[in-house]
Structure 1
Amino acid sequence: MPEGIIVKALSGYYYVKPFQENAIVTGEDTVQCRGRGILKRKEITPLVGDHVIYSLTENGEGMVDDVHPRESELIRPPVANVRLAVLVFSVREPDMNLNLLDKFLVHIENSGLKVLIVLSKQDLADDAGEATAYVKALYEQVGYEVMVTSSLTGAGSEDLRKRLSGGISVFAGQSGVGKSTLLNRIVPGLGLETGEISLRLGRGRHTTRHVELMDIGEGGFVADTPGFSQLDFLELGVEELSTCFREFAPYAEQCKFRGCSHLHEPGCQVISALEQGEIASSRYEHYKLFYNEMKDKKRRY
C-alpha cells in the first residue's frame, strides 16, 4: 500500500504527499484523503507531518488507513514529527529582543525539539558585525546552533537551505524579522507574501488558520503555521523552568538543597557560577523574570 506524509489538514480532509522508496516525491500532486473509521476507534487523530499508509479509492481520492508512530508531537501548532525549531531574530528593524528569544527557547526546550537560532538582517546596522558576534558567541556558548543571514545579500541562505533539508521545521520569532523574505530567498518561486507575516508568532491574532507544510526540496518541509502562539508559560511548571536553561544543568546538580530555585538559597552553585562569570547575566536575569511571571500567574489562577 502507498505511503506518504500529510502536508495539510482542512475540513476533515488530509492532503497526503506520496513517498517513493521512503523518499518524498518532489513535484507529485497530493492525494485528498479521508480518515478510516478505525483510526477514530483507536483514538488516533492524524496530524500534519504524520507519516501515513493510505489507499486510493475509485473517485481518485484516498483513505488514510494507518499512522506510523510519531517522533514528536506539538500541541500548538498541531504538527507531528517536527525535527527543528528555527528562531529568526533580526539585528535591526526590529531591534534584537533577547528577552523574547529566551522566552522562545524556554518553550522549545520544554517541547524537546532541536533549536537553530537565525540572526537576520545583519546588513541593516553599522554595528551589526559587533552585535551579531556578541549574540552568536553568547548562545553558542550555551550550546545552541547559530546561523547569520541576510536576505538582501543572500549571505547564509544556502547554508540554511541545506540545514532545513531532510525533515520538518517550524519557524518562530519576532514579527517583521523577515521570515517570509528569508524563505523566499532560499526557495526561489515559493512566493510567500512579505507585506504581511504569514508565519506570524507571538501575541495577538494571526492570519493562518490551518497548518500546512511547504515543500522546500531535498526532503525538507517548513510548517506555515501560527506557531507557538501563546508564550505565557501555562503549560510549564515553575519547578521545571530552570531545566529549560541548559547552562544551569551542570551547576544545579551540585546545589546544596534539592529543588533549589537558584534565586536566594545558600550553597546555590548556579548563583556561584553567575558570580564567576560562567553564566551570562542576561540569561540569569531573564530566568528570574520568567520565574516571577510564572509565580504571579499561578497565584491568579
Structure 2
Amino acid sequence: MVGIVVKGIAGFYYVKAEDVVYQCKARGIFKKDGIKVAVGDIVEIQLNEGSDALITEIKERRNSFVRPPIVNVDCFAVVFAAANPEPNFAIIDRFLVMAEKSNTDIIICVNKIDLGKNDIIDKLKSIYQGVYPMVFLSGKTGEGIDDLKELLTGKKCALAGPSGVGKSTILNDLEPMAAVETGEISEKTKRGKHTTRHVEIFDTAFGAMIFDTPGFTSFEVLEADEQELAHLYPEMQEYLGQCKYDNCRHIKEPDCSVREAVAEGKISKSRYHSYVEQIKEIREKSRKW
C-alpha cells in the first residue's frame, strides 16, 4: 500500500494511505544505510496485525531539505511580515534562493498588512512584484487568504519564513482543523516564539497539502556555487551571457550587463546587494574548506 508521510514523532511515522492514517515504524535497513524517512515521503507500507504498520520502501524524491526536514515540496510560500517584525530582505532572499535551487514554485506572502506602513508595502512591491507572484494578506483578519488558496490549490506547499511572521496563523486560516498553536512576538528579541515543534502536513478542504514547519531565521544557501547563484535570481536571467567576460560574477568586472541593469533600475538594488553578499559567503566557505 502506498501513502504519504504526514508526521514523524519519536521514531514513529504517520502515513496517510487511502484516507486512513497509519502509525508506522521504518525498516531497520534505512537507518543502516543512513536514510531518514521524512515528512512528505511517498512510501510503501506493509500492514501488520493491529494498528501498526511498517514502511518498507521510500519512493524517489523530487527534492529534499535538511532544515526544515521535508521532501517532495511543489511550492514554497515565502512568508514575511509587513511589520512586527519588519521584513529583513537578506533573509527573504536566502529563502528565495533555496526555493529556486529546489525547482519549486514560489509565492511571496506579505502578512500583517493591517500593521504595515504604506511605504514598507510599496518597497516590497518595487522589489519583488513582477519577479514572483505576491499575496498581501492579514492572517488575523483573513484578508487575502482566498487569493493564497487559489495559488496553492492542487499543490504540496511549505510555508517558509522566519519565526514570528504569522505562518501558524495563516495555516489555521487555510485549514481551521489544523488548530496550530500561535505565539506572540518576544518584546526582548523582537522575534517570534517557536510555537511549531514538529513538521506535519495538513490536508485542506480546498485541495492543497500544507507543510507546517518549525520557525527558523535562515536557510543555508551556500550549497549553490558562484557560477550557479546568478541563475537563481530570475530577474538576472535575461542579462546572463551578455557580459564582456564569459565567467563574469557581476561584482566588479567591467562591461557587466547585470550591473548595468542594476544601474538602470531594471534589477532591484536590494536584490543585487543580497546576491553580492551571498557570493561573499560562498567564497568565504570555500576558503575554509
Whether TM exceeds 0.5 here: the answer is yes
How far residue 167 of structure 1 moved from its aligned partner, in angstroms, is 2.8
Q: Distance in 2 between matches of 1:131 and 1:210?
A: 32
Q: Distance in 1 between matches of 2:148 and 2:230?
A: 30
SS of equivalent residue, structure 1 residue 80: coil
- 1:1-16 correspondence to structure 2 within 5 Å: 2-16=1-15
How far residue 36 of structure 1 moved from its aligned partner, in angstroms, is 3.9
Structure 1: any 5+ residue segments left out of the alignment? Answer: 20-24, 198-202
Contact preservation (8 Å) 1:6, 1:51: yes
For residues 165-210 of structure 1, the C-alpha deviation after alignment (integer angstroms, 9 at most, x for no partner) is 333222222322211122222222432222268xxxxx99966554
- The corresponding residue for 2:102 is 111
Contact preservation (8 Å) 1:50, 1:70: yes
Contact preservation (8 Å) 2:164, 2:192: no
Contact preservation (8 Å) 1:171, 1:227: no
The amino acid across from 2:262 in the alignment is: L
Q: Distance in 2 between matches of 1:208 and 1:134?
A: 30
- The corresponding residue for 2:17 is 18
Cα distance change, pair 171–255 in 1 and its aligned pair in 2 (3 A): same
Partner residue of 2:125 out of 111, 136, 161: 136
Contact preservation (8 Å) 2:168, 2:181: yes
SS of equivalent residue, structure 1 residue 258: coil
% identity of equivalent residues: 39
Partner residue of 2:72 out of 76, 81, 88: 81
SS of equivalent residue, structure 2 residue 277: helix
The amino acid across from 2:137 in the alignment is: T
Contact preservation (8 Å) 1:252, 1:268: no
Structure 2: any 5+ residue segments left out of the alignment? Answer: 186-190
- The corresponding residue for 1:265 is 253
Q: Distance in 2 between matches of 1:289 and 1:40?
A: 38
Between stretches 79-88 and 178-187, larger displacement belongs to 178-187
SS of equivalent residue, structure 1 residue 73: coil
How far residue 101 of structure 1 moved from its aligned partner, in angstroms, is 1.2
- 1:142-181 correspondence to structure 2 within 5 Å: 142=131, 144-181=132-169
RMSD: 2.8
Cα distance change, pair 227–195 in 1 and its aligned pair in 2 (3 A): closer
The amino acid across from 2:52 in the alignment is: E
How far residue 38 of structure 1 moved from its aligned partner, in angstroms, is 6.4
TM-score norm. by structure 1 comes to 0.82
SS of equivalent residue, structure 1 residue 242: helix
For residues 122-170 of structure 1, the C-alpha deviation after alignment (integer angstroms, 9 at most, x for no partner) is 1114x43x5424423531322x111110123311112223433333222
Q: Distance in 1 between matches of 2:3 and 2:207?
A: 12
For residues 89-148 of structure 1, the C-alpha deviation after alignment (integer angstroms, 9 at most, x for no partner) is 1111112222221122122222222211001111114x43x5424423531322x11111
Cα distance change, pair 207–155 in 1 and its aligned pair in 2 (3 A): closer
Contact preservation (8 Å) 2:180, 2:196: no
The amino acid across from 2:43 in the alignment is: V
How far residue 228 of structure 1 moved from its aligned partner, in angstroms, is 6.4
Contact preservation (8 Å) 2:45, 2:55: yes
SS of equivalent residue, structure 1 residue 293: helix
- 1:112-261 correspondence to structure 2 within 5 Å: 112-125=103-116, 127-128=117-118, 130-142=119-131, 144-195=132-183, 210-226=198-214, 230-261=218-249
Cα distance change, pair 253–134 in 1 and its aligned pair in 2 (3 A): same
TM-score norm. by structure 2 comes to 0.85
Cα distance change, pair 124–206 in 1 and its aligned pair in 2 (3 A): closer
- The corresponding residue for 1:278 is 266
The amino acid across from 1:58 in the alignment is: E
